[in-house]
Amino acid sequence: MEDAVRPDEKAARDMYARGYRTWSNLYEHASKDVHLLRNCLQRLRTPFPRLPQFPNNLDIDKSFSGAAFAKGRNTWLPAEELDHLPPFQDELVVDVAWDKPTQILLTSDVRRSKTTLPDIFRRQSNHIPVLLQAWAYILAARWTELIPEAHISHNADSRLRGDLDASLLPNNNQDSAIINVGEVGRDAARWWDDILSVEGGWDATIRSTKGGLLHSPWSTTLVSERPLVISAKIKTETSTSKETTTSSDAAYSYLTDYCNLHGIDDDVSLAALAAALQIPAIKYDRRRIELPIPDPAQDGLRTKRDHADTSLFTLQDRLPLDRLLTLSCNARGTKALLSSAFFELDVTSNICGMWLQGSFAFLNTIKDPHSLLKTLIHRDPDIGFLWVGAFITGGYHKTLREGRSGGWIIELAAAAWTGTLMSFIQAPVPHLAVGAQSISRADECRLLYLCHEINYTTPPLLPFAPFGSTALHDTNLDVRKHSLCGRDHGLQYSHWKWHCKDDTEFDQEPHVPTITTRPKNGQLLNHGTAVDVDYDEYDSEDENSEMVTRNIFTWLRGEDGFPVAEREIREHEWIDNLDDGDDSPVEGDTEEQAPKKSEEAGYEVSYPNCGILPASSRNNGLRRFFQPYLLDFDGDRGDYYGQKINGDNDGVPGSGAINDPGWKGMAGPRWSPDSRQLVFWQTHTVSPSCGGDNPLPCYPSKEQGGRNYRMYIATFTSRSASPPAPVKEHSDTIPWGVPYVPGSQVTPKPGLVGGIYTLYGKSSGEAKVNITWGTAPEIGTVSVVYKNYSLDGKSFLNGNESVTGSVERLTDFSFDWYSDIRQTGAVKGTKKTSPGGYHANIDVMTNDLTSNGTLTTTLDGVEWRSPRSGT
């Protein structure tokens, strides 16, 4: 019997081969294109005309201590005629400041440096770490010139003292990396000294409303294993500048002089700019940049003979930095643009995993990183400069991991601004043939999103389209109407509006009325047969296709359910019981148990969530919210809430009585053997949980010595002693344990091994958990796919969720959370992240949360939202 969802073996192997041959074709053409890298870098001179620019009255939300944000709205046209389908908008939040600069480590250890400096630059690559710092400053300086109340500062204790001539360098600089900036003015020499200082020579900041400093997206701190020494011959100047800071224009002129001094090709500096544009994305991933220690001295200086062979910068070659600033600030957007390389429009969800398997099977054969870079650029050369930046900064490693998993994010704003094909939802809806009785599910999804009903106001989370078609009589009324109306439908970008001060808006219409999305390179005629395909990486267990298919059908059928004609799809193991909310509960014995609730989860059934990563990252300091209650067997109900152990109601604050509300019960009470006494302990509320900005006043402890902990033994006088529980004797030998020998070292417990685990529901279904441990600073990724998972036979979970965690330092955690879960049955609910996911960073020592996106859990119409950023 033919499978209703999963393709047969031949189709799967053919798609694997198609992916393999597509990237083989890209590799072959990229290898022959000697101008590929240069041409893609020149795209930085004429960036995409739809990219918006920061206005000078932009409203900045500075109310949080971890980040500052700017907001704007995209307007989309679902049809050519505005009266046919109305335009709709979506909001985009752009990070314009961060809580800390991005660290750049200069190292001589090639094992630590994850960068790939393009080989075509040869020895000029030595200059890229220097040029990267220069471009980071220029971008940050331009940011301060556009963002209200932002400013740039220089370290007043600059290391540069007096005139420093290259011929007069002291002998003790033999271990230093000497950066020769030539004959320059004192201001230029001081600027070079500041941006290459490991002592924090400069910073671009804005102050939050809480008083703390937030840093520009391109602010960096430099760490080097060898000291950097500036070699400069100071010009004699008739007048000295009184400026205390260096503008973006002045910094650009200093950079131009440096490039001309060393004969640095135009493309080398553009490559460094491409890397600087990736700094916010590196910051978004909570990573640092590791680069080799610069050694430009070995290149010597430019000679007259070099003049004809180099393409040098001039002051007239100004770049459109304002547009590039916006592109760079939108870190989620630049990451999504990179991942779009692995999208193929006509590859559907149920076979996309095979496409990716074949694609990465070939990409894994490319051992030379420079060849890999050129291959990825050739897929979509117009955004190839992003790949150059990602390779120089090392960010491409995570992009490849996300591409291999099939779970990368999409960001339609960045796609529209750059004309990039990123998701099937972007394609226009073709007219149906006369007499057609069905519509492709891909076009059904497109029309649902374009009609923008309340349940379809966010696009599908993942890029691949659903397979197959739906009978027109089984579709939504809007889909039926617009599929037959004869009008043109498609997602068209109209314009962007910034949210500005005084609740005004700044409208930025695109300079070009329409830009169609570019096709990807690598298309094969009849999918090609000339390349021998290596099937060693082929795996018929296609979990990526399963995850993507389940996700898109959750989006498509999650609200209205499946039509009868799709029964086989609905009952397929990949999608089983997605819409079983109206089904009767499974009959049989069930066990009542305490519900599991959390601020970030909210589901009232126990289930294997992704909390293994973020569980310990969010706390409320010393938790003092509890009082001990005794409940009977049936638990709280109606007006019965149990017996409060430490006295009725609350006593007088500060009295020190047993029911003083300033004393809170702690976890772990214990019963006496005869069940007549209960031991529990309390802790006293102290600053900062009271006093100061906290409205709860602090009271001195009245316990002996002012102690803040106390223990009580409560005796239940009306209770009869229960007989002691029999103690069963056990052997001293435990077959699964290792005897402890006094003085011996305790063997460390092994951690949870990465891999795929299956947890079966007590009543029905399963949860398939994939644990992938990462390398520092990444903790790893935990993902789970629920299939009709139920403990009690009353409520059922379906959907998927994944969390990736990283830690910059011991107490600083970051998480990228993607969730699309549906609960049906007795308690109906959903758990969903916003498009692009929920991204959070928290330092557990300060409990300041910085987040982007939302995570919302809904149970029977009641919503729980993720903590607000800044709390």
Residue 239: what pLDDT? 54
d(CA 712, CA 140): 59
Tokens of 288: 């640092």
421/432 Cα distance (integer angstroms): 23
Percent of the chain, pLDDT > 70?
83
Residue 483 vs residues 84, 428, 432, 440, 443: alpha-carbon distances, Å: 13, 12, 7, 11, 9
- State if pTM tops 0.85: no
The predicted-structure confidence for 473-487, as pLDDT tens digits, reads as follows: 999 999 999 999 999
* Bond preceding residue 614 cis, omega within 30 of 0: no
> Of 721, 743, 765, which marks where a domain is finished?
721
* Position 851 confidence tier, pLDDT thresholds 50, 70, 90: confident
Of residues 470 and 788, more confidently modeled: 470
Q: Does 796 score more than 50 pLDDT?
A: yes
The answer on pLDDT for 451 being more than 80 is yes
Confidence of residue 161 (pLDDT cuts 50, 70, 90): very low
In a domain, residue 602? The reply is no
User: Does residue 424 sit in the same domain as residue 471?
Assistant: yes
For 633-653, b/e burial (b = at least 16 CB within 10 A) is eeeeeeeeeeeebbeeeebeb
Q: Are 500 and 506 in contact (CB under 8 A)?
A: yes
Query: pLDDT digit string (tens) for 167-216?
Result: 334 445 557 889 999 999 999 999 999 999 987 889 999 999 888 899 99
Tally helices (H) and strands (E) across the chain.
18, 30
The span from the CA of 809 to the CA of 823, in Å, is 37
How much is the mean pLDDT over the chain? 83
Please check whether residue 775 lies inside any domain of the structure.
yes
Q: 17, 358 in Cβ contact below 8 A?
A: yes
Cβ neighbours of residue 210 under 8 Å, at least 6 residues apart?
Answer: 63, 64, 65
Confidence (pLDDT) at 495: 92
pLDDT tens-digit series, residues 105-157: 998 876 555 566 666 677 788 899 999 999 999 999 999 999 999 999 987 55
pLDDT at 319 over 90: no
pLDDT at 425: 97
pLDDT at 829: 92
CB atoms within 10 A of CB 440: 18
- Indicate the pLDDT class of residue 694, thresholds 50, 70 and 90: low
Query: Residue 128 belongs to what domain range?
Result: 99-236+245-298+316-329
Q: Report which of residues 441 and 527 the model is more confident about.
A: 441
- Residue 122 and residue 255 in one domain: yes
What number is the average pLDDT over the span 487-505? Answer: 93
What's the pLDDT score for residue 789?
A: 92
CA-based nearest residue to 621, from 532, 542, 688, 703: 688
Residues 354 and 459 in one domain: yes
697-737, pLDDT tens digit by residue?
A: 888 999 998 899 899 999 988 888 888 777 778 777 777 77
Phi-psi region at 510: left, alpha or beta (left = phi > 0; alpha = psi -120 to 50): beta
User: Based on the domain organization, do 475 and 523 belong to the same domain?
Assistant: yes
CA dihedral 627, 630, 631, 633 (to 10 degrees): 140
The reply to whether 103 and 88 lie within a common domain is no
Asked if residue 26 is part of any domain, the answer here is: yes
**Cα distances (Å, whole numbers) of residue 532 to 9, 62, 301, 400:** 19, 57, 49, 24
Residues 113 and 140 in one domain: yes
Asked, for residue 201, whether it belongs to a domain, the answer is yes
CB 349 within 8 A of CB 552: yes
Local confidence band at 268 (pLDDT 50, 70, 90 cut-offs): very high
* Most confident of the ranges 62-71, 335-344, 814-823: 335-344
Flag whether 588 is in a domain: no
- With cut-offs at 50, 70 and 90, classify the pLDDT of residue 305: very low
Strands 755-760 and 709-715: unpaired
**CB under 8 Å to 453, separation ≥6 — which residues?**
476, 478
Structural domains in the chain (count):
4
- pLDDT band for position 590 (cuts 50, 70, 90): very low
- Same domain flag for 428 and 531: yes
CA 242 to CA 625: how far, in whole Å?
Answer: 58
Report in angstroms the alpha-carbon separations of 210 from 5, 61, 213, 713, 718. Answer: 54, 12, 9, 45, 55
Together in a domain, 387 and 418: yes
Query: Domain for residue 306, yes or no?
Result: no
Per the CB < 8 A criterion, the answer to whether 207 and 101 are in contact is no
Could you tell me if 77 and 117 lie in one domain?
Answer: no
One domain for residues 550 and 470? yes
* Residue 361 lies inside a defined structural domain of this protein: yes
250 shares a domain with 105: yes
671 occurs within a structural domain: yes
* Residue 794 or 548, more confident: 548
For residues 76 and 123, state if they share a domain. Answer: no
**Whole-number Å distance between alpha carbons of 762 and 649:** 40
